[in-house]
Amino acid sequence: MKMFDSNYIEKELKKINKNLSKQISFYILGGGAMSFFDLKTATKDIDVILPSESEASALIKTLYKVGYNKIETKDPIYIKMKTREIIENKEGFRWDIFVNKVCGGLSFSKDMQERAKPFKNFSNIETYLISPEDIFIFKAVTSRSRDREDMFSLFSHGLDVNIIKNEIQKQAQLDEDRAWLSYFFIGLDELVSEYNIIFPDYNEFLKLAEEEMLEKLVLEFIQRKPRSLNDLVSILKCDGEEIKPILKDLMENDKISLSQGKYQSN
């Protein structure tokens, strides 16, 4: 597989800038950003997030203009990630383009935008590099080739674990339909197992994931039919003291209510 360094990426950016019909801004993540952080010598593609559909359309139109072609893929990983467009040139260099969300729903939050580092500005393009902590999160919730290797490079470079912890918890709150804490922990656990490392607050990330899954199970069983605390303890085979704070939280968020000793879905 052919790989491309930061000089090649910059050359492509200049070409695109020259042919753009409007000004756009985008944020570089993944291997592309890592190559500019000197955490990776080369990458096979560049992942970018654009803040609006109009900017994404302008970029895609320009990529076609300078010789790129759309790639149709049946790869379940890319389908799950809900890439806006995958475009590749004759040399095999690929753009994975996203609009506001990545990995099938992970939000490009305001905090992520503020942490991004201004990179190179051209006459028609403003570029930013996603922070190493946020790249680590994106890598953890996906399972493409080299994701765990990239996570190890980011970890070795040094990461602010509190930023990661706060952001992944915010993501879980922004999209309660997805188990982001669990998805993140799966990727983290694979990293720890594969590279035999000690990751700070690993047990806390495990606890967050377990609590998230237990909450989702509790809600799922209550949605099927009203359940008492004892019913849930019996079904889930866990301590009632573990379930009580979850039930309290679900009631405070108006997702369930208590009637005649049984919890029911609202």
> Would you state the pLDDT for residue 82?
73
Identify whether the C-beta of residue 258 lies closer than 8 Å to the C-beta of residue 265: no
Assigned fold of 216-265: Arc Repressor Mutant, subunit A (1.10.10)
pTM of the model: 0.86
pLDDT of the chain along its 266 residues, tens only?
Answer: 788 888 898 999 999 999 998 999 999 998 889 988 888 888 888 999 998 999 999 999 999 999 999 988 777 666 666 788 899 999 999 999 999 887 667 888 999 999 999 988 899 999 999 999 999 999 998 877 688 999 999 999 999 999 999 999 999 988 877 889 999 999 999 999 999 999 999 999 999 999 999 999 999 999 999 999 999 999 988 888 889 999 998 999 899 999 999 999 99
Is 216-265 in the same CATH topology as 6-200? no
Q: Report helix angle 6-19 to 53-65, nearest 10.
A: 100
What are the residue ranges spanned by the domains of the chain?
6-200, 216-265
> Would you state the pLDDT for residue 5?
87
Taking the domain 6-200, which CATH number applies?
3.30.460.40
* Token reading at 26: 């985008």
Nearest Cα neighbor of 105 from 83, 87, 135 is 83
Backbone φ/ψ region at 117: left (φ over 0), alpha (ψ -120 to 50), beta:
beta
